[in-house]
Chain A
Amino acid sequence: MAEFIHLKIKRQNGPNESPRWEEFKVPYKPNMNVVSVLMEIRKNPVNAQGQKTTPVTWDCSCLEEVCGACTMIINGNVRQACSALIDKMPSQVITLEPLSKFPVIRDLKVDRSVLFEHLKKVKAWINIDGTFDLGPGPRVPEKERRWMYEISRCMTCGCCYEACPNFNARSSFIGPAPLAQVLRFNNHPTGAMDKEARLETIMGDGGITDCGNAQNCIEACPKKIPLTTAIAKLNRDTTLYSIGRWFNR
């Protein structure tokens, strides 16, 4: 292994500033990940040319690939910085870029609040609040529970948004992750009470029909959530629901 870890980082001072590339050389230590390398730069913010610079800004929290906060583009692939181990990286130079589909706040830190907005839009929750005790909820079949658990592992990291060709500034597509959540909450016996409202939402502008079946989402998802199966299942649900709605009106 080389003595130094050579990094090329796409930096940006603020939301409306233009990006620039800056290179760094961080002394190699075994078992480093991208987060610990960035921490080294923060300790000693000097670039590869030996000039003093500002420390690189990034986001991270859990450091075990369950929160999704440190998601960035590493060597051209969208993934989490915490699980990007230096010893397992093949390339000589490691390039770090912020997510391209979300507004950059500074350097590698982006504003992913659109994900939260979309989750709110599809009512990605179960209504259990009331003025009286609702009692225990219905039992969930084991098969359903497993399926819902698969989808519940989504950490809204934004990898599927980043890889999706139909999610961009031109389109209003809601994106793969919230669609999977629709299925997850529609499958829940109590959540199913809001099933129609969720289906109506994803049948609107930028809804499920805006999926172009490039299926990059399932490839990019670090949790391997069955996003394409969820979308196809929702395609069936919305198709049948729309036919039923037309004949019931």
Chain B
Amino acid sequence: MGFIKNYNFLIRKLHSLTGLIPIGVFLLEHLITNSFALGGPEAYNQRVEAFQNIPFLVWIEIIFIAIPLAFHTILGLYYVYLAQNNVLQYKYYRNYMFYLQRVTAIVTFVYVAYHAYTARIGRAFAGIEISYEFMNNILSQPLFFIIYFIGLLAAVFHFSNGLYTFAISWGITIGPKAQKTMQTICTILFIILTAIGTAGLIGLAA
């Protein structure tokens, strides 16, 4: 705990940064790649294969996705524990967003743990590569479609709202008007990303 206290500033800043780069960037890539499923199984499988041909893929995934994600998650859960939420008493818009950011953190954590295990880690150990057919088997069941949709909403909300607070935490948006504009941009981003993600889910469920 002494390390966390001494390097509080650096750790908090890294926590904020990893949410955007690389995790946020990966989320965007992932949702866009999935949306190719709307073009049919071949279009999707082609995309997946293109990624699987990247040299040292496993190392790239570990260094640029798994480690930053684990760092962001473990610290983030500690930060969730540190907050004492009071939305019932102070019913302000930003307070609800603060609360939802923590709720979606936990939902996304549970969902990503499940999703990464079934769709990537478990598959990798079994030596089976991901394909349209595999995802279709899962997503054609209404229950799993709903689980994936909830996971999508949570992840996209956490990213969009996180981007808004990122802009404040790094001193980019300072005045109330700049913050308000950023809020509008992030709300639009949330809608667009939900649409792209849903398109991917529908494509894979069909």
Chain A residues engaging chain B, CB cutoff 8 angstroms: 76, 163, 165-166, 168-171, 203-207, 209-216, 219-220, 226, 228-229, 231-240, 242
Contact = CB atoms under 8 A, between A and B. Distances in A.
B33 interface: no
Nearest to A171: B82
B168 to A, nearest CB: 5
Interface in B171-195: 171-176, 179
B82 A166 contact: yes
Contact of B92 (A171, A212, A215): A215
Contacts of A166: 82-84
B140 interface: no
Contacts of B82: 166, 168, 170-171, 210
B9 A209 contact: yes
29 contacts: A165-B85, A168-B83, A168-B84, A169-B84, A203-B9, A205-B5, A212-B83, A212-B165, A213-B164, A213-B169, A214-B92, A214-B94, A214-B95, A214-B98, A215-B94, A215-B95, A215-B98, A216-B94, A219-B95, A229-B175, A232-B173, A232-B179, A233-B174, A235-B170, A235-B171, A236-B174, A238-B171, A239-B170, A242-B9
Interface of B: 5-6, 8-10, 12-13, 16, 79, 81-86, 89-90, 92, 94-95, 97-99, 101, 164-165, 168-176, 179
Given A232-B168, A239-B13, A76 B89 contact: yes
B179 A209 contact: no
Nearest 8 interchain pairs by C-beta: A236-B171, A209-B12, A214-B98, A235-B171, A215-B94, A168-B84, A205-B5, A232-B174
B8 A209 contact: yes
Nearest to A163: B90
B156 to A, nearest CB: 19
Contacts of A165: 83-86, 95, 98-99
A248 B81 CA distance: 36
A235 B10 CA distance: 13
Contacts of A226: 176
A233 B171 CA distance: 6
Contacts of A232: 168, 171, 173-175, 179
A216 B174 contact: no
B179 A228 contact: yes
Contacts of B175: 229, 232
A28 B190 CA distance: 52
B187 to A, nearest CB: 16
A215 B3 CA distance: 28
B165 A213 contact: yes
Nearest to B174: A232
A213 B95 CA distance: 8
Given A206-B8, A209-B12, A213-B165, A237 B171 contact: yes
Contacts of A216: 86, 90, 92, 94-95
A13 to B, nearest CB: 25
B168 A235 contact: yes
Contacts of B99: 165
Nearest to A246: B10
Contacts of B101: 212
Contacts of A237: 171
Given A209-B13, A214-B94, A219-B90, 20 more contacts: A165-B83, A168-B83, A168-B84, A170-B82, A170-B84, A203-B9, A204-B9, A207-B8, A207-B9, A209-B9, A211-B169, A212-B98, A212-B101, A212-B165, A215-B95, A220-B90, A228-B176, A228-B179, A234-B171, A235-B171
